[in-house]
Chains A and B, each alone.
Chain A
């Protein structure tokens, strides 16, 4: 029953779920969950432009999507820092406007006489059936260095999430850490687009992290658990959509992860996140 099509989708789903689950921990701890959503929507014009320039090259699509995502984040930060506007309204506006620009470009592309652009809208909703071995290779090629960065820079990332003052006192470039982390998140979002789609990709970052947060205390354990939840969500989602008819892979994975998060919120024992002052 394990055929090669299922194998490709399952491996890709596990990798996407695992990596985004781990990286999402940073977003959730920094209270920036919605930034993932903004990045995911902002990737669309990048996908369209990279298609216009380079055709349907999976590597260039990932690069274009990541660059657009980073530009989106940069604009959000820039506008928030130079105006009285709150981050939430700026993010909402940016994600919708970037998505609108993407729609304009996509409708423009669809009128071009070249063929083979049909698959582009799958970046919005995701289409697991279109995932091929090349995508898995890309996931590994990008995922391994990302993992290395997280492991090597662990003390800094850890401090960055909890103790911003420490990072600055130590003279570490908090700004650079921020950019690198956002870059990693943009890349995994770009990698997940073909399977999960722009609209739901952010949930794969947030849901496993929120779920893991309910069970463990330390950030390292949270990251490992979030990765496991994301990866199992990917595997089970891929299995369900392969076994039953008309079950969309991406939304199923997301739905499973959200359910795990909600159930964890209800049944997990309250983990004390800070030392409670004892009596007297």
Chain B
């Protein structure tokens, strides 16, 4: 039962992270997920000092607020001619280091455990149950991330048109009357919410892996957006399951194993993807090279066809054999009708 809860939690967290992660990636904002996971800690710490309770809803509000502040700060710095990457690096480092200083200062009377917050241990998730009005709803992490997942799914559904427009064609989005800025802020808010719920369960660093790896893998597999969304969900699920099974088997950090599995899965896609994978493309290049050599022979033979002395052409035996097999030349090395047809096709795609 605990195992089932753990697996369910892992899958739900992965899905909840992957969905906003996909849109962040498509909009070129992936590193923001890294910044958010670090800067949100400041929101949690500050709210903790004000409210004094780890599990109050105020924590979420504080964390989401600090996420939005991060995005706004990064935007402001960019307007001051700081490049986007330096701005992100600066803002999250400032907020994160301040959070750690605060935690260390008041370490004795804090229930905030730095290791747990950042490195996370999902193994304990099934023991922290969410009980409302006496009804046991399941692990808190699962319920919270389920809410986040539901929220992003609904938002994606409702605002699909706006998202697609502002992501891929901001100019015409403005013309149609969609504001890219509003959609961006909405996405950042949703991402902050997801980051907070997720890193409570699996730790900050794994959240970054979950938000980037599955979308990046799906991106390599298809050009179609809807297919990409489904593939992202599928790959997020499979990486989570593989990682958790491996972690159980080897008895190592579950969060770490899930991140590792996501990475291994990406490398597998990168190398093995049909058509666009590294290996498929290498084969394709080799095939193309061979085709070009064959065509060069065919052209050479054709040019000697005119002076009717194709038997005197110096040519590789293997190529001649293959040309004959394809029916492009006859036994006197004269081009056949289909040979000429192939030559006429050169320059047009098959």
Residues of A within 8 A of B (CB): 28, 31-34, 36-37, 41, 79, 82-86, 88-104, 106-108, 111, 121, 124-125, 199-200, 202-203, 206-207, 209-210, 246-248, 250-252, 254-255, 258-259, 261-262, 265
Contact = CB atoms under 8 A, between A and B. Distances in A.
A34 B85 contact: yes
B34 A101 contact: no
A100 to B, nearest CB: 2
Contacts of A99: 205, 209, 256, 259
Q: Is the interface of B mostly helix, strand, loop or mixed?
A: helix
6 contacts: A34-B34, A93-B263, A103-B252, A104-B260, A254-B93, A262-B94
B216 interface: yes
A97 B259 contact: yes
Nearest to B31: A88
Contacts of B98: 251, 255
A199 B260 contact: no
B298 interface: no
Contacts of B205: 41, 95-96, 99-100, 103
Given A28-B83, A199-B38, A250-B97, 5 more contacts: A34-B34, A37-B89, A79-B270, A90-B216, A95-B205
B257 A104 contact: yes
Contacts of B96: 199-200, 251
Interface of B: 25, 28-31, 33-34, 38, 77, 80, 82-83, 85-86, 88-90, 93-94, 96-98, 100-101, 104-105, 107, 114-115, 118-119, 205-209, 211-213, 215-216, 219-220, 247, 250-253, 255-260, 262-263, 266, 270, 276, 278
Nearest to A204: B93
A268 to B, nearest CB: 10
A89 B260 contact: no
Which 4 A/B pairs are nearest by Cβ-Cβ distance?
A100-B259, A103-B256, A97-B263, A203-B93
A96 B260 CA distance: 9
B38 to A, nearest CB: 7
Given A84-B219, A85-B220, A96-B259, A258 B251 contact: no
